[in-house]
Amino acid sequence: IGAEFLSTKINNTMLEYVVNNDDFDKETKQWATSLLNRAKENMNQFVKMNDKVVEITKYDTVYKYPQNVAILINENVASAAEQFLLDAKQSKKVKLFGTTTAGGLDLANVYETLSPSKEFILEYSTSRSMRIPEMIIDEKGVQPDFYLDKSIPKYKWIDFVVNVLNEN
């Protein structure tokens, strides 16, 4: 699922930085140029960060191993790690074990700007997920497939998961 970028004068400077910085590879600079052009045409509006709202990747080979993948999660998992979990869960082989994640993914691409007085720095999100409002992650988190409650101490989580995987 894609994301939208809020086109503002300040936010667009972030894209200009990418376009004009030789530390970024050609592909990234081309993407930033394309987004910057759309952003400039749609000031003070959200613009799609990519051409497609939903991108589907199909692999021509599905390997036999690993047969089962367990990912341990808890309240300290957030942001890009939550995106990794959403991507990983697309595989039938992957199961999440633990507790609900932090829920910090829907609003992203944090940018900062100095206040006019130069006494404060404001950090804010410049983009939002196109999952909103149907599949909100912020403040809800990603739910585990196997909830590990407080009766299982965290230091025993791995043993618990190995037992579950070996039962199947």
Task: Summarize pLDDT for 79-108 with one digit per residue, the tens.
Answer: 999 999 999 999 999 999 999 999 999 999
- Exposed, middle or buried by CB within 10 Å (0-12, 13-18, 19+), for 61? exposed
d(Cα 154, Cα 152) in Å, to the nearest integer? 6
- Which has the closest alpha carbon to 74: 51, 34, 102, 47? 102
Which residues lie closer than 8 Å to 7 by C-beta, 6 or more apart?
38, 39, 40, 42, 43, 44, 45, 46, 47
**Token code pair at residue 109:** 């691409």
Q: Please state whether 118 falls in left (phi above 0), alpha (psi between -120 and 50) or beta.
A: left
Q: Which residues face 113 on adjacent strands? A: 122
Q: Is the pTM of this model over 0.75?
A: yes
Average pLDDT, the chain: 94
Q: Which position has the higher pLDDT, 55 or 158? A: 158
Q: What is the pLDDT of residue 13?
A: 94
Report phi then psi at 146, rounded to 5: -125, 105
Per the CB < 8 A criterion, the answer to whether 121 and 113 are in contact is yes
26 band by pLDDT with thresholds 50, 70 and 90: very high
Residue 1 CB-half CA count within 13 A: 17
Q: What is the pLDDT of residue 168?
A: 66
